[in-house]
Structure 1
Amino acid sequence: MGSIGPETDAQAQEIAVIGAGFSGIYELHKLKDAGFKVRLYEAGEGVGGIWYWNCYPGARVDTPVPTYQLTSDDTWTDWNWSQRFPDYSELRTYFQHLVKVWGLEDLITFNTRIESMKWDDQAHHWDLEMRTNGTVQTKSAPAVVVCTGFGSKPYIPPWKGLDTFKGNLLHTGLWPQGGVPLDGKRVAIIGTGASGVQLIQETAKVAKHLTVFQRTPNTALPMSNPQYDKAKNDVWKKSYAETKQMMLTTFAGFDYEFRKENANISTPEVRAAFYKTLLESGGLHFWLGTYQDVLFDEEANAEAYEYWRQSVIKRIKDTRNQEILAPKVAPHPFGTKRISLERQYFEVFNQDNVDLVDLVENNISEITETGIQTKDGVLHEVDVIVAATGFDSVTGGITAIDIRGTDPKQSIKDRWSQGCYTLFGLTTSGFPNMFMMYGPQAPTAFATGPSSAECQGEWITACLEHMRDQHITKIDATKEAEKDWRDHTLEMGGKGLFPKAKGWYYGDNIPGKPREALNYMAGLPLYREKIWESANNGYRGFELTA
């Protein structure tokens, strides 16, 4: 029978961690330090998770440092950031720093994709089938921690004629590691989410012509990305102990929080001054540092949107583009879809080499050999098509693996086909000894990656230590507890204005995907309280088997 814990036998099974992003690297470190035999499997050639795969021009994080980092003292005291919002290359270097500091080099197997997992209910272990550079092998693990992230399964809509295009077809989430030359090319970018905004800004500088195809306006906020020298790094390090404590108290793990008052208690002049300060702060302050009722009250929300709109339209010369990019009537309540950060994004559309197509009025009818034909009959001839069309978010990275638990006839994709069921977003009933990080019904997209990794990683490690100490070989969520957590998650997701927007927070971007709150929207502090309440009461909600 598989054993969770150290073994003297050299052939003893290792706990398997899947994915080398924040969650995977942090959990590998925690399990190693706790004395477990453990190995991490990563499909890419390097660490970084999303920052390995997302290497398109302009790719950078939208959470500022030092918030966007792990908080263990050994990881930051000798580390300096070069900018407030690091790009993917600096974040890759940071991940390499983590691996070195924690001595994880020999515990990671790269170029290895887990293709299937099957639970052996007699031996109480998982059998993993993996492909490494074309070679398939099977290994057993007493427990598996799935850290595939919320954006690891790219989605491209099934446009007619997609396979006929003779040019270069790309997705921002699968950008070639060696890069793609866009200089002097005719480029089409479809989608204006976070990756679209970032890539559009960079492509417009070098492309012969850029055509942007927009379905939904992006209510992007100014980034403000100053460089950090050693003196600036020394400043944040002096107060980082206090910063870490504050991050534990805030909704999403930032070092700032919503204002503890409603918008209507202030005068219009006071609100305008406050909004001006938030915008000038750069980053997500206008979204997550605003009045506490902006995401709940339609009137307060509409006023915030209008303030944002007025700040943007003066930067756009063409009145047609003003209405497409910042319409008079908000396409959805402000902040109920993921806010992006921009650096001169709206000015891009003033350039002679940039065109904007409104897909609401003029949708794509088909892809041809030479470009994109829209409903009005116009053929936009291009050399490169980039689908900045997002991901099968939150669940897609997990369901992409053929995972079969106590019922071998039912995959996890089947189990979630009519709705997602988990306990704390950490486990799912019928799939014992399998833990998920940054997955469904956890804070995930409503928390910073590092804060989420530490929150969940500490709990999972403690759970596995408890199993080892108590000689428990199997842990599984009860269906009753799982249903209660689902009901609680959906209740939290139904509050406020978020359900009024169609987007990946609710699975709306994937045809046939059930519409439901995929994230736990009540904040990290309450989430921590809930998961540790279970652990401190003998892992209430779980069945433990020796």
Structure 2
Amino acid sequence: MSTQQLPVKGCAGLDLRGGIYLDAVVIGAGVAGLYQLHRLRDMGMSVRAYEAGSGVGGTWYWNRYPGARFDSQAEIYQYWFSEELYKSWQPSERFPAQPETERWLNHVADTLDLKKDIQFNTRIASAHFDEENEVWRIETTGGEKIVTQFLIACCGMLSAPLSDHFEGQASFKGQIYHTALWPKEPVDLKGKRVAVIGTGATGIQVIQTIAPEVGSMKIFVRTPQYIIPMRNPKYSKADWDQWSSRFHELKKRVRETFAGFDYDFDAGPWEEKTPEERTQVLESLWEDGSLSLWLASFPEMFFDEAVSEEVSEFVRGKMRERLGNDPKLCDLLIPTDYGFGTHRVPLENKYLEVYLQPNVETVDCKKTAITRVVPEGIETADGTVHEVDVIIMAVGFDAGSGALSRIDIRGRNNRSLKDQWQQEIRTSMGLQVHGYPNLFTTGAPLAPSAALCNMTTCLQQQVDWITGCIDYALKHGNQVVEATAEFEDDWVRHHDETAAKTLVVKTDSWYMGSNVEGKPRRLLSYIGGVGNYHKRCDELARDGYPGFQMH
């Protein structure tokens, strides 16, 4: 790309109030933040990314818990703007673990020489829109002040962990670890009495990984999960050369499919197949060992309760076999009150077999909920104190909206984004929020990137759209971009109408914000399909960004 100097307003005559001026500020140095920094810098803008961690990686910097790894295949969890960059890194396996992914993102940052424009160990405390000067005034938790024309939030959809979750945590005599705040230093669990709270995708990865080394393990189960066994072959140079040869094909493919993967719902209509043919499709995708059973089998399972039940029962049968048809474990670990795919579906490796170990005990939190943490361990509603040495909390996040809500963001008329989202979570396609001029977002609510997408696919698409929108505005002599109230209303209506047709909205999960007390209930992710979302974004760009007021 050629570098160009765009006519950004700049700081001439502007009271910086002891701060510095930048054309643009990027919050976060994960997958989206790195690419956004690269794109804006390539446009000739003065830009800096601010990152709370000490290194790049976002999710793959913070989530260094035992067993953390991809569930998108390495060949499509990629940047697509450079074939040379794609070919310059060879993954070791289909679903690489966290350390390798963090190294890959450092490789990207180093290749593009991005770190010189990233300020690490810096958390943004507030961002207030100065209406008179039409700039954002930003302050860090360390008191540093920045003034900027454009503010791009690449904070991540799962970056606001629910860490202070139970009464009495500070009284515990042992160690408490939150999976999203795992220390860099090795944690020795050998021979220890360990409690794991939570059995979502993260909890499953932790449980299956630490099971061989702990002395004993108590697993606190509230919501059982459907699972798919991961098939994770090693990749040779020849394998990667083959994937690399398909770079352009894959780049095009992931933009068009339902969830941004290289597979899609290509099996044909459910009603046109015999029971045997349906089972054959499900068996084939089960054996593939990826998320394809969820995102490339039969879309009818998201809409039709009868189809949902058949697919769910197929998975339940697989799970029963692995649990040895143990009635107690099957009742505790196999879902029956919601359908397969209406929750996040984790990939796993011998997770269910952990429960058959003699040193593993389960606690049914639906029958006896956790009431508090005490010095000796965890107390449940029946008065039992479960004594442990280590508590691992895999209790999730304030997803989609939490990262931005934890920053004091104020738009026109001093409106507070946190207060607004406590009443109703709404955005303009997850790209802007009406009332907050020149604030752009990635991974925000009401876009596929909030949950239902291969993240690299959707985050890059949003960065490209945001960059194109800023470029268009500046080239046409405009300094301010803001989604109109009418555009936002139309998108929220379309989002809700699309979601209401599915079974997902009938299920309590973090997808609906149900895991956070008091959070407004709305499907956080757009479920109309990545391909359709991308097409709509492309149309907006082609037509001069209708619905986005510029001046």
State TM-score, norm by structure 1.
Answer: 0.95
- Provide Cα deviations, 1:268-325, integer angstroms capped at 9, x if missing partner: 2222222111110001111111122121111111111111111111111333112211
For the residue of structure 1 that corresponds to 2:372, the secondary structure is strand
- Provide Cα deviations, 1:413-435, integer angstroms capped at 9, x if missing partner: 11222112211111111111000
Equivalence for 2:327: 319
Equivalence for 2:3: none
Equivalence for 1:203: 210
Equivalence for 1:541: 547
Within a 5 Å distance, the mapping from 1:66-465 to structure 2 comes to 66-71=75-80, 72-131=82-141, 135-156=142-163, 158-259=165-266, 261-317=268-324, 318-327=326-335, 330-408=336-414, 410-444=415-449, 445-465=451-471
Give, in whole Å, the separation in 2 of the partners of 1:406 and 1:524.
Answer: 31
For the residue of structure 2 that corresponds to 1:205, the secondary structure is coil
- The one-letter code matched in structure 2 to 1:174 is L
For the residue of structure 2 that corresponds to 1:314, the secondary structure is helix
- Provide Cα deviations, 1:70-111, integer angstroms capped at 9, x if missing partner: 112132122101010011111111111111222212111100
Residue 530 (structure 2) pairs with residue 524 (structure 1)? yes
For the residue of structure 2 that corresponds to 1:79, the secondary structure is coil
1:511 deviates by 0.5
Of 119-128 and 156-165, the range deviating more from structure 2: 156-165
- The one-letter code matched in structure 2 to 1:152 is S
- The one-letter code matched in structure 1 to 2:535 is E
For the residue of structure 2 that corresponds to 1:143, the secondary structure is strand
1:14 deviates by 3.2
For the residue of structure 1 that corresponds to 2:152, the secondary structure is strand
Equivalence for 1:58: 67
For the residue of structure 2 that corresponds to 1:15, the secondary structure is strand
Query: Aligned in 2, Cα 1:4/1:489: closer, same or farther, shift over 3 Å?
Result: farther
Is this contact kept in 1: 2:7–2:475, CA < 8 A? Answer: no
The runs of 5 or more residues in structure 2 that have no matched partner are: 1-5, 13-19
Give, in whole Å, the separation in 1 of the partners of 2:201 and 2:83.
Answer: 31
1:375 deviates by 2.5
Query: Aligned in 2, Cα 1:55/1:252: closer, same or farther, shift over 3 Å?
Result: same
Give, in whole Å, the separation in 2 of the partners of 1:468 and 1:268.
Answer: 58
- Provide Cα deviations, 1:3-53, integer angstroms capped at 9, x if missing partner: 9639799x7523100001111111111111122111111000111100000
- The one-letter code matched in structure 2 to 1:413 is K
1:156 deviates by 4.2
- Provide Cα deviations, 1:347-395, integer angstroms capped at 9, x if missing partner: 0111111111111122213321101122233221001111101000000
Give, in whole Å, the separation in 2 of the partners of 1:466 and 1:275.
Answer: 46
The runs of 5 or more residues in structure 1 that have no matched partner are: none
1:441 deviates by 0.8
Is this contact kept in 2: 1:364–1:375, CA < 8 A? Answer: yes
Is this contact kept in 1: 2:371–2:381, CA < 8 A? Answer: yes
For the residue of structure 2 that corresponds to 1:471, the secondary structure is coil
Of 506-515 and 253-262, the range deviating more from structure 2: 253-262
Is this contact kept in 1: 2:267–2:296, CA < 8 A? Answer: no
Of 462-471 and 263-272, the range deviating more from structure 2: 263-272
Is this contact kept in 2: 1:162–1:366, CA < 8 A? Answer: yes
Of 495-504 and 41-50, the range deviating more from structure 2: 495-504
For the residue of structure 2 that corresponds to 1:407, the secondary structure is helix
Is this contact kept in 2: 1:18–1:42, CA < 8 A? Answer: yes
Is this contact kept in 2: 1:4–1:143, CA < 8 A? Answer: no
Is this contact kept in 1: 2:95–2:232, CA < 8 A? Answer: yes
Give, in whole Å, the separation in 1 of the partners of 2:458 and 2:174.
Answer: 40
Give, in whole Å, the separation in 1 of the partners of 2:89 and 2:163.
Answer: 38
1:260 deviates by 5.0
- The one-letter code matched in structure 2 to 1:126 is W
Q: Tell me the percent identity.
A: 40
Is this contact kept in 2: 1:56–1:179, CA < 8 A? Answer: no
Is this contact kept in 2: 1:59–1:87, CA < 8 A? Answer: yes
For the residue of structure 1 that corresponds to 2:211, the secondary structure is helix
Within a 5 Å distance, the mapping from 1:467-506 to structure 2 comes to 467-506=473-512
Is this contact kept in 2: 1:67–1:255, CA < 8 A? Answer: yes
Of 105-114 and 254-263, the range deviating more from structure 2: 254-263
1:534 deviates by 2.4
Aligned length: 536
Is this contact kept in 2: 1:296–1:497, CA < 8 A? Answer: yes
- The one-letter code matched in structure 2 to 1:249 is E
Give, in whole Å, the separation in 2 of the partners of 1:179 and 1:151.
Answer: 23
For the residue of structure 2 that corresponds to 1:519, the secondary structure is coil
1:333 deviates by 1.2
Is this contact kept in 2: 1:424–1:485, CA < 8 A? Answer: yes
- The one-letter code matched in structure 2 to 1:506 is M
State TM-score, norm by structure 2.
Answer: 0.94
- The one-letter code matched in structure 1 to 2:31 is F
Equivalence for 2:17: none
- The one-letter code matched in structure 1 to 2:479 is T
Give, in whole Å, the separation in 2 of the partners of 1:490 and 1:162.
Answer: 38
Is this contact kept in 2: 1:316–1:346, CA < 8 A? Answer: yes
Give, in whole Å, the separation in 1 of the partners of 2:21 and 2:321.
Answer: 65
Is this contact kept in 1: 2:255–2:534, CA < 8 A? Answer: no
Is this contact kept in 1: 2:226–2:334, CA < 8 A? Answer: yes
- The one-letter code matched in structure 1 to 2:124 is I
Give, in whole Å, the separation in 2 of the partners of 1:51 and 1:93.
Answer: 9
Give, in whole Å, the separation in 1 of the partners of 2:90 and 2:442.
Answer: 27
1:256 deviates by 0.6
- The one-letter code matched in structure 2 to 1:17 is V
For the residue of structure 2 that corresponds to 1:362, the secondary structure is coil
